[in-house]
Structure 1
Amino acid sequence: MVDSVTAQERAGERSGPRRKEEIFAASLELLAGQGYDAFTVEGVAQRSGVNKTTIYRWWPSKSELLRDALLQSGTLAFDLPDTGSLTGDLTELAGRVEGLLAEPETRAVVEAALVGAVRHPAMRELVTQFLEDRLGRHQPLFTRAVERGELPADLDPALLVDAVAGALWIRLLVRRRPLSDDFTGQLVALLADGISAARERAGRRRG
Protein backbone atom coordinates (compact mmCIF):
# COMPACT_ATOMS: atom_id res chain seq x y z
CA MET A 1 0.00 0.00 0.00
CA VAL A 2 2.84 2.37 0.90
CA ASP A 3 4.55 1.76 -2.44
CA SER A 4 1.24 2.34 -4.26
CA VAL A 5 0.63 5.67 -2.54
CA THR A 6 4.21 6.76 -3.19
CA ALA A 7 3.82 6.01 -6.89
CA GLN A 8 0.65 8.10 -7.04
CA GLU A 9 2.37 10.97 -5.28
CA ARG A 10 5.34 10.84 -7.66
CA ALA A 11 3.00 10.84 -10.63
CA GLY A 12 1.22 13.86 -9.15
CA GLU A 13 4.51 15.72 -8.78
CA ARG A 14 5.51 15.02 -12.40
CA SER A 15 2.25 16.57 -13.63
CA GLY A 16 2.20 19.25 -10.93
CA PRO A 17 0.89 22.31 -12.82
CA ARG A 18 -1.95 20.40 -14.47
CA ARG A 19 -2.91 18.63 -11.26
CA LYS A 20 -2.77 21.86 -9.28
CA GLU A 21 -5.18 23.54 -11.68
CA GLU A 22 -7.53 20.59 -11.26
CA ILE A 23 -7.22 20.93 -7.48
CA PHE A 24 -7.87 24.67 -7.68
CA ALA A 25 -10.95 24.11 -9.84
CA ALA A 26 -12.28 21.50 -7.43
CA SER A 27 -11.58 23.80 -4.47
CA LEU A 28 -13.50 26.71 -5.95
CA GLU A 29 -16.39 24.44 -6.96
CA LEU A 30 -16.66 23.13 -3.40
CA LEU A 31 -16.40 26.62 -1.91
CA ALA A 32 -19.19 27.81 -4.20
CA GLY A 33 -21.39 24.79 -3.56
CA GLN A 34 -20.85 24.19 0.15
CA GLY A 35 -19.36 27.36 1.62
CA TYR A 36 -16.31 27.74 3.82
CA ASP A 37 -17.75 25.79 6.77
CA ALA A 38 -18.22 22.55 4.85
CA PHE A 39 -15.09 22.91 2.73
CA THR A 40 -12.57 20.11 3.40
CA VAL A 41 -9.33 18.93 1.83
CA GLU A 42 -10.83 15.43 1.74
CA GLY A 43 -13.69 16.76 -0.36
CA VAL A 44 -11.25 18.41 -2.75
CA ALA A 45 -9.29 15.16 -3.05
CA GLN A 46 -12.44 13.23 -3.91
CA ARG A 47 -13.62 15.77 -6.47
CA SER A 48 -10.25 16.29 -8.13
CA GLY A 49 -9.10 12.67 -8.05
CA VAL A 50 -5.81 13.67 -6.42
CA ASN A 51 -4.63 11.73 -3.38
CA LYS A 52 -5.25 13.77 -0.22
CA THR A 53 -1.72 13.10 1.05
CA THR A 54 -0.40 14.88 -2.04
CA ILE A 55 -2.72 17.83 -1.42
CA TYR A 56 -1.69 18.04 2.22
CA ARG A 57 1.96 17.99 1.24
CA TRP A 58 1.43 20.97 -1.06
CA TRP A 59 -1.03 22.77 1.26
CA PRO A 60 -0.95 21.88 4.98
CA SER A 61 -4.34 23.51 5.66
CA LYS A 62 -7.55 24.31 3.84
CA SER A 63 -6.89 28.03 4.24
CA GLU A 64 -3.58 27.75 2.40
CA LEU A 65 -5.23 25.69 -0.33
CA LEU A 66 -8.05 28.20 -0.75
CA ARG A 67 -5.59 31.09 -0.78
CA ASP A 68 -3.71 29.64 -3.73
CA ALA A 69 -6.92 28.61 -5.47
CA LEU A 70 -8.20 32.19 -5.28
CA LEU A 71 -4.88 33.77 -6.27
CA GLN A 72 -3.62 31.38 -8.92
CA SER A 73 -6.66 29.82 -10.57
CA GLY A 74 -7.57 31.11 -14.01
CA THR A 75 -11.22 31.16 -12.94
CA LEU A 76 -10.97 34.66 -11.46
CA ALA A 77 -8.34 36.07 -13.83
CA PHE A 78 -8.59 38.45 -16.76
CA ASP A 79 -6.16 40.50 -18.85
CA LEU A 80 -5.46 44.06 -17.77
CA PRO A 81 -6.82 46.64 -20.26
CA ASP A 82 -4.59 49.19 -21.96
CA THR A 83 -6.75 51.52 -24.04
CA GLY A 84 -4.49 54.57 -23.87
CA SER A 85 -6.65 56.51 -21.38
CA LEU A 86 -7.67 56.11 -17.77
CA THR A 87 -11.40 56.42 -18.52
CA GLY A 88 -11.08 53.84 -21.27
CA ASP A 89 -9.17 51.48 -18.99
CA LEU A 90 -11.71 51.87 -16.17
CA THR A 91 -14.57 51.23 -18.60
CA GLU A 92 -12.85 48.08 -19.90
CA LEU A 93 -12.02 47.00 -16.34
CA ALA A 94 -15.67 47.33 -15.33
CA GLY A 95 -16.71 45.30 -18.36
CA ARG A 96 -14.29 42.49 -17.55
CA VAL A 97 -15.41 42.31 -13.93
CA GLU A 98 -18.98 42.18 -15.19
CA GLY A 99 -18.00 39.35 -17.52
CA LEU A 100 -16.64 37.33 -14.62
CA LEU A 101 -19.70 37.90 -12.47
CA ALA A 102 -22.03 37.09 -15.36
CA GLU A 103 -20.81 33.48 -15.26
CA PRO A 104 -22.91 31.53 -12.71
CA GLU A 105 -19.92 29.47 -11.54
CA THR A 106 -17.71 32.50 -10.97
CA ARG A 107 -20.52 34.48 -9.36
CA ALA A 108 -21.11 31.60 -6.92
CA VAL A 109 -17.42 31.57 -5.96
CA VAL A 110 -17.39 35.32 -5.29
CA GLU A 111 -20.60 35.17 -3.27
CA ALA A 112 -19.36 32.24 -1.17
CA ALA A 113 -16.05 34.03 -0.52
CA LEU A 114 -17.78 37.24 0.57
CA VAL A 115 -20.25 35.41 2.81
CA GLY A 116 -17.41 33.43 4.34
CA ALA A 117 -15.42 36.61 4.89
CA VAL A 118 -18.24 38.04 7.00
CA ARG A 119 -18.45 34.95 9.20
CA HIS A 120 -14.87 33.69 9.47
CA PRO A 121 -11.65 35.62 10.15
CA ALA A 122 -9.65 33.07 8.16
CA MET A 123 -11.82 33.54 5.07
CA ARG A 124 -11.76 37.31 5.57
CA GLU A 125 -7.96 37.19 5.51
CA LEU A 126 -8.06 35.16 2.29
CA VAL A 127 -10.38 37.67 0.62
CA THR A 128 -8.14 40.53 1.78
CA GLN A 129 -5.10 38.79 0.30
CA PHE A 130 -6.99 38.26 -2.95
CA LEU A 131 -7.96 41.94 -3.18
CA GLU A 132 -4.41 43.08 -2.40
CA ASP A 133 -3.08 40.73 -5.06
CA ARG A 134 -5.50 42.10 -7.65
CA LEU A 135 -4.62 45.68 -6.70
CA GLY A 136 -0.97 44.86 -7.31
CA ARG A 137 -1.81 43.36 -10.71
CA HIS A 138 -3.78 46.49 -11.63
CA GLN A 139 -0.94 48.83 -10.64
CA PRO A 140 0.44 49.24 -14.21
CA LEU A 141 -2.92 50.73 -15.23
CA PHE A 142 -2.55 53.49 -12.64
CA THR A 143 1.17 53.95 -13.26
CA ARG A 144 0.43 54.66 -16.91
CA ALA A 145 -2.32 57.11 -15.91
CA VAL A 146 0.11 59.01 -13.66
CA GLU A 147 2.68 59.14 -16.47
CA ARG A 148 0.03 60.57 -18.82
CA GLY A 149 -0.90 63.21 -16.24
CA GLU A 150 -4.41 61.79 -15.81
CA LEU A 151 -3.98 60.82 -12.18
CA PRO A 152 -2.25 62.56 -9.25
CA ALA A 153 0.79 60.59 -8.16
CA ASP A 154 -0.34 60.68 -4.52
CA LEU A 155 -3.85 59.33 -5.16
CA ASP A 156 -4.38 55.87 -3.64
CA PRO A 157 -5.41 53.59 -6.54
CA ALA A 158 -7.26 51.35 -4.07
CA LEU A 159 -9.93 54.06 -3.90
CA LEU A 160 -10.66 53.63 -7.60
CA VAL A 161 -10.54 49.83 -7.50
CA ASP A 162 -12.88 49.73 -4.49
CA ALA A 163 -15.23 52.22 -6.11
CA VAL A 164 -15.47 50.25 -9.35
CA ALA A 165 -15.65 46.80 -7.75
CA GLY A 166 -18.01 47.92 -4.98
CA ALA A 167 -20.47 49.49 -7.40
CA LEU A 168 -20.44 46.40 -9.63
CA TRP A 169 -20.82 43.96 -6.74
CA ILE A 170 -23.77 45.85 -5.30
CA ARG A 171 -25.43 46.10 -8.70
CA LEU A 172 -24.87 42.50 -9.78
CA LEU A 173 -24.73 40.50 -6.55
CA VAL A 174 -27.10 42.38 -4.25
CA ARG A 175 -29.61 44.10 -6.51
CA ARG A 176 -29.37 41.36 -9.15
CA ARG A 177 -29.66 43.87 -11.96
CA PRO A 178 -27.67 43.71 -15.21
CA LEU A 179 -25.19 46.37 -16.13
CA SER A 180 -26.04 48.69 -18.98
CA ASP A 181 -23.68 50.84 -21.01
CA ASP A 182 -25.36 53.82 -19.36
CA PHE A 183 -24.61 52.50 -15.87
CA THR A 184 -20.97 51.83 -16.63
CA GLY A 185 -20.61 55.16 -18.43
CA GLN A 186 -22.12 57.10 -15.54
CA LEU A 187 -19.94 55.27 -13.03
CA VAL A 188 -16.74 56.03 -14.93
CA ALA A 189 -17.81 59.65 -15.57
CA LEU A 190 -18.46 60.11 -11.84
CA LEU A 191 -15.03 58.72 -11.02
CA ALA A 192 -13.44 60.89 -13.72
CA ASP A 193 -15.01 63.99 -12.16
CA GLY A 194 -13.56 63.02 -8.80
CA ILE A 195 -10.15 62.37 -10.33
CA SER A 196 -10.21 65.76 -12.04
CA ALA A 197 -11.02 67.46 -8.74
CA ALA A 198 -8.20 65.55 -7.02
CA ARG A 199 -5.79 66.56 -9.77
CA GLU A 200 -6.76 70.22 -9.35
CA ARG A 201 -6.23 70.03 -5.59
CA ALA A 202 -2.82 68.45 -6.13
CA GLY A 203 -1.92 71.26 -8.54
CA ARG A 204 -2.91 73.92 -6.02
CA ARG A 205 -0.80 72.24 -3.33
CA ARG A 206 2.23 72.22 -5.64
CA GLY A 207 1.57 75.86 -6.57
Structure 2
Amino acid sequence: MSAPSPHPRPEKGPRAAEAIFDATLRLLAERGYAGLTIEAVAQEAGVNKTTIYRWWPSKAALLRAALLRARVLDIDVPDTGSLRGDLVALAEQVTALVTGVRTRAVVRALASGTGLADDELAALARDFFADRFAREQPVFARAAARGELPPGADPKLLLDLIAGAVWVRAVLRNEPVPPGFAATVVDAVLPGTG
Protein backbone atom coordinates (compact mmCIF):
# COMPACT_ATOMS: atom_id res chain seq x y z
CA MET A 1 0.00 0.00 0.00
CA SER A 2 1.42 3.39 -0.97
CA ALA A 3 1.16 6.47 1.16
CA PRO A 4 0.11 9.67 -0.57
CA SER A 5 3.01 11.73 -1.82
CA PRO A 6 4.01 14.52 0.56
CA HIS A 7 4.52 16.58 -2.59
CA PRO A 8 1.26 16.34 -4.54
CA ARG A 9 1.58 17.03 -8.22
CA PRO A 10 0.90 20.74 -8.72
CA GLU A 11 -1.83 21.55 -11.19
CA LYS A 12 0.05 24.55 -12.58
CA GLY A 13 0.59 24.24 -16.28
CA PRO A 14 -1.29 23.77 -19.51
CA ARG A 15 -3.62 20.84 -20.12
CA ALA A 16 -0.93 19.37 -22.36
CA ALA A 17 1.64 19.40 -19.54
CA GLU A 18 2.23 15.64 -19.51
CA ALA A 19 2.82 15.61 -23.30
CA ILE A 20 5.21 18.54 -22.89
CA PHE A 21 7.04 16.78 -20.04
CA ASP A 22 7.27 13.53 -22.01
CA ALA A 23 8.66 15.38 -25.04
CA THR A 24 11.14 17.25 -22.86
CA LEU A 25 12.48 14.08 -21.27
CA ARG A 26 12.56 12.18 -24.57
CA LEU A 27 14.53 14.97 -26.25
CA LEU A 28 16.88 15.25 -23.27
CA ALA A 29 17.61 11.55 -23.64
CA GLU A 30 18.12 11.81 -27.42
CA ARG A 31 20.02 15.11 -27.67
CA GLY A 32 21.43 15.83 -24.24
CA TYR A 33 20.90 19.08 -22.39
CA ALA A 34 22.82 21.21 -24.89
CA GLY A 35 20.63 19.97 -27.76
CA LEU A 36 17.34 20.37 -25.91
CA THR A 37 15.32 23.35 -27.21
CA ILE A 38 11.91 24.79 -26.41
CA GLU A 39 11.11 24.81 -30.13
CA ALA A 40 11.82 21.07 -30.46
CA VAL A 41 9.77 20.29 -27.35
CA ALA A 42 6.83 22.30 -28.71
CA GLN A 43 6.99 20.46 -32.02
CA GLU A 44 7.25 17.03 -30.35
CA ALA A 45 4.39 17.80 -27.93
CA GLY A 46 2.18 19.32 -30.63
CA VAL A 47 1.84 22.69 -28.90
CA ASN A 48 2.84 26.25 -29.66
CA LYS A 49 6.15 27.33 -28.18
CA THR A 50 4.31 30.33 -26.71
CA THR A 51 2.31 27.86 -24.61
CA ILE A 52 5.54 26.53 -23.14
CA TYR A 53 7.04 29.98 -22.58
CA ARG A 54 3.85 31.12 -20.85
CA TRP A 55 4.38 28.51 -18.14
CA TRP A 56 8.15 27.96 -18.18
CA PRO A 57 10.34 30.95 -19.09
CA SER A 58 13.46 28.94 -19.90
CA LYS A 59 14.74 25.52 -20.90
CA ALA A 60 16.01 24.98 -17.35
CA ALA A 61 12.60 25.84 -15.83
CA LEU A 62 10.85 23.46 -18.25
CA LEU A 63 13.27 20.62 -17.58
CA ARG A 64 13.02 21.15 -13.82
CA ALA A 65 9.21 20.89 -14.04
CA ALA A 66 9.47 17.77 -16.21
CA LEU A 67 11.90 16.09 -13.83
CA LEU A 68 9.80 16.84 -10.76
CA ARG A 69 6.31 16.34 -12.22
CA ALA A 70 6.46 13.85 -15.11
CA ARG A 71 4.56 10.70 -14.27
CA VAL A 72 7.22 8.51 -15.90
CA LEU A 73 9.74 9.52 -13.21
CA ASP A 74 7.31 9.34 -10.29
CA ILE A 75 7.92 7.16 -7.28
CA ASP A 76 5.40 5.61 -4.92
CA VAL A 77 6.45 5.94 -1.31
CA PRO A 78 6.00 2.41 0.01
CA ASP A 79 4.45 1.50 3.34
CA THR A 80 5.11 -2.21 3.80
CA GLY A 81 5.12 -2.08 7.59
CA SER A 82 8.89 -2.45 7.95
CA LEU A 83 11.97 -0.40 7.13
CA ARG A 84 13.49 -3.33 5.27
CA GLY A 85 10.38 -3.82 3.15
CA ASP A 86 10.13 -0.11 2.37
CA LEU A 87 13.81 0.12 1.40
CA VAL A 88 13.56 -2.95 -0.83
CA ALA A 89 10.51 -1.41 -2.53
CA LEU A 90 12.36 1.89 -3.01
CA ALA A 91 15.41 0.09 -4.40
CA GLU A 92 13.18 -1.77 -6.84
CA GLN A 93 11.73 1.55 -8.01
CA VAL A 94 15.23 3.00 -8.45
CA THR A 95 16.12 -0.11 -10.47
CA ALA A 96 13.06 0.39 -12.66
CA LEU A 97 14.00 4.03 -13.26
CA VAL A 98 17.62 3.36 -14.21
CA THR A 99 16.84 0.32 -16.37
CA GLY A 100 13.38 1.12 -17.78
CA VAL A 101 12.89 1.50 -21.51
CA ARG A 102 11.33 4.97 -21.17
CA THR A 103 13.56 6.22 -18.35
CA ARG A 104 17.05 4.74 -18.76
CA ALA A 105 18.27 7.35 -21.27
CA VAL A 106 16.75 10.20 -19.25
CA VAL A 107 18.54 9.06 -16.11
CA ARG A 108 21.83 8.76 -17.97
CA ALA A 109 21.45 12.23 -19.49
CA LEU A 110 20.63 13.67 -16.08
CA ALA A 111 23.61 11.92 -14.49
CA SER A 112 25.90 13.23 -17.22
CA GLY A 113 25.24 16.76 -15.99
CA THR A 114 26.87 16.18 -12.65
CA GLY A 115 30.49 17.14 -12.62
CA LEU A 116 30.41 18.83 -16.00
CA ALA A 117 30.91 22.52 -16.70
CA ASP A 118 27.18 22.91 -17.24
CA ASP A 119 26.17 24.11 -13.79
CA GLU A 120 22.54 24.46 -14.89
CA LEU A 121 22.08 20.73 -15.52
CA ALA A 122 24.01 19.86 -12.35
CA ALA A 123 21.65 22.12 -10.38
CA LEU A 124 18.66 20.38 -11.96
CA ALA A 125 20.08 17.00 -10.97
CA ARG A 126 20.53 18.22 -7.38
CA ASP A 127 16.91 19.48 -7.36
CA PHE A 128 15.65 16.14 -8.69
CA PHE A 129 17.49 14.09 -6.05
CA ALA A 130 16.56 16.50 -3.24
CA ASP A 131 12.91 16.21 -4.25
CA ARG A 132 13.06 12.42 -4.25
CA PHE A 133 14.78 12.37 -0.85
CA ALA A 134 12.10 14.70 0.57
CA ARG A 135 9.36 12.41 -0.79
CA GLU A 136 10.98 9.39 0.87
CA GLN A 137 11.05 10.88 4.38
CA PRO A 138 7.84 9.16 5.55
CA VAL A 139 9.68 5.81 5.25
CA PHE A 140 12.18 6.94 7.88
CA ALA A 141 9.68 8.71 10.10
CA ARG A 142 7.61 5.50 10.31
CA ALA A 143 10.73 3.39 10.89
CA ALA A 144 11.85 5.68 13.73
CA ALA A 145 8.38 5.50 15.29
CA ARG A 146 8.54 1.67 15.14
CA GLY A 147 12.00 1.71 16.75
CA GLU A 148 13.72 0.35 13.63
CA LEU A 149 16.12 3.30 13.32
CA PRO A 150 18.52 4.18 16.10
CA PRO A 151 18.75 7.83 17.17
CA GLY A 152 21.17 9.68 14.94
CA ALA A 153 20.72 7.31 11.99
CA ASP A 154 21.40 9.02 8.66
CA PRO A 155 18.55 8.28 6.20
CA LYS A 156 20.39 9.98 3.34
CA LEU A 157 23.40 7.70 3.86
CA LEU A 158 21.14 4.63 3.84
CA LEU A 159 19.52 5.74 0.57
CA ASP A 160 22.86 6.70 -0.96
CA LEU A 161 24.29 3.26 -0.19
CA ILE A 162 21.25 1.41 -1.51
CA ALA A 163 20.51 3.53 -4.59
CA GLY A 164 24.23 3.93 -5.24
CA ALA A 165 24.64 0.17 -5.59
CA VAL A 166 21.87 0.12 -8.18
CA TRP A 167 23.33 3.09 -10.07
CA VAL A 168 26.84 1.63 -10.12
CA ARG A 169 25.61 -1.73 -11.40
CA ALA A 170 23.13 -0.44 -14.00
CA VAL A 171 24.49 2.95 -15.08
CA LEU A 172 28.23 3.01 -14.47
CA ARG A 173 29.02 -0.65 -15.15
CA ASN A 174 26.16 -1.03 -17.64
CA GLU A 175 25.42 -4.50 -16.29
CA PRO A 176 22.03 -6.10 -15.77
CA VAL A 177 20.49 -5.84 -12.32
CA PRO A 178 19.61 -9.42 -11.35
CA PRO A 179 16.32 -10.36 -9.72
CA GLY A 180 16.54 -9.98 -5.95
CA PHE A 181 19.33 -7.39 -6.16
CA ALA A 182 17.30 -4.81 -4.24
CA ALA A 183 16.79 -7.16 -1.29
CA THR A 184 20.46 -8.24 -1.34
CA VAL A 185 21.64 -4.63 -1.22
CA VAL A 186 19.22 -3.67 1.56
CA ASP A 187 20.28 -6.71 3.61
CA ALA A 188 23.94 -5.71 3.16
CA VAL A 189 23.19 -2.17 4.36
CA LEU A 190 20.90 -3.28 7.21
CA PRO A 191 22.65 -6.36 8.61
CA GLY A 192 20.49 -8.77 10.55
CA THR A 193 17.30 -7.93 8.67
CA GLY A 194 17.51 -10.54 5.91
Once structures 1 and 2 are overlaid, which stretch shifts more, 97-106 or 45-54?
97-106
CA distance in structure 1 between the aligned counterparts of 2:123 and 2:192, rounded to whole angstroms? 30
1:114 aligns with 2:114: no
CA distance in structure 2 between the aligned counterparts of 1:100 and 1:185, rounded to whole angstroms? 17
Q: TM-score, normalised by structure 1?
A: 0.81
Higher helix share: 1
Q: CA RMSD in A?
A: 1.9
1:22 aligns with 2:19: yes
Give the letter for the 1:192 counterpart: L
> Which blocks of at least 5 consecutive residues in structure 2 are unaligned?
1-12
2:170 paired residue number: 172
Give the letter for the 2:68 counterpart: L
Q: TM-score, normalised by structure 2?
A: 0.87
Q: 1:188 aligns with which of 178, 186, 189?
A: 186
1:128 paired residue number: 126
Shift, 1:97, TM fit: 1.5
2:159 paired residue number: 161
Shift, 1:182, TM fit: 5.0
Task: Give the 3-state SS of the residue equivalent to 2:76 in structure 1.
Answer: coil
Counterpart contact for 2:60–2:124, Cα < 8 Å = yes
Counterpart contact for 1:32–1:105, Cα < 8 Å = no
Give the letter for the 1:108 counterpart: A
CA distance in structure 2 between the aligned counterparts of 1:129 and 1:72, rounded to whole angstroms? 12
1:56 aligns with 2:90: no
1:38 aligns with 2:35: yes
CA distance in structure 2 between the aligned counterparts of 1:78 and 1:39, rounded to whole angstroms? 25
1:147 aligns with 2:141: no
Task: Give the 3-state SS of the residue equivalent to 1:118 in structure 2.
Answer: coil
Kindly name which structure, 1 or 2, has the bigger radius of gyration based on alpha carbons.
1
2:10 paired residue number: none
1:135-168 CA distances to partner (integer Å, 9 max, x unpaired)? 1100000000000111124222111111111110
Identity of aligned residues (%): 50
Q: 2:135 aligns with which of 126, 134, 137?
A: 137
CA distance in structure 1 between the aligned counterparts of 2:115 and 2:153, rounded to whole angstroms? 28
Shift, 1:181, TM fit: 4.2
Q: 1:79 aligns with which of 76, 79, 93?
A: 76
CA distance in structure 2 between the aligned counterparts of 1:59 and 1:117, rounded to whole angstroms? 23
Once structures 1 and 2 are overlaid, which stretch shifts more, 32-41 or 158-167?
158-167
CA distance in structure 2 between the aligned counterparts of 1:45 and 1:33, rounded to whole angstroms? 15
Give the letter for the 1:175 counterpart: R
CA distance in structure 2 between the aligned counterparts of 1:22 and 1:183, rounded to whole angstroms? 33
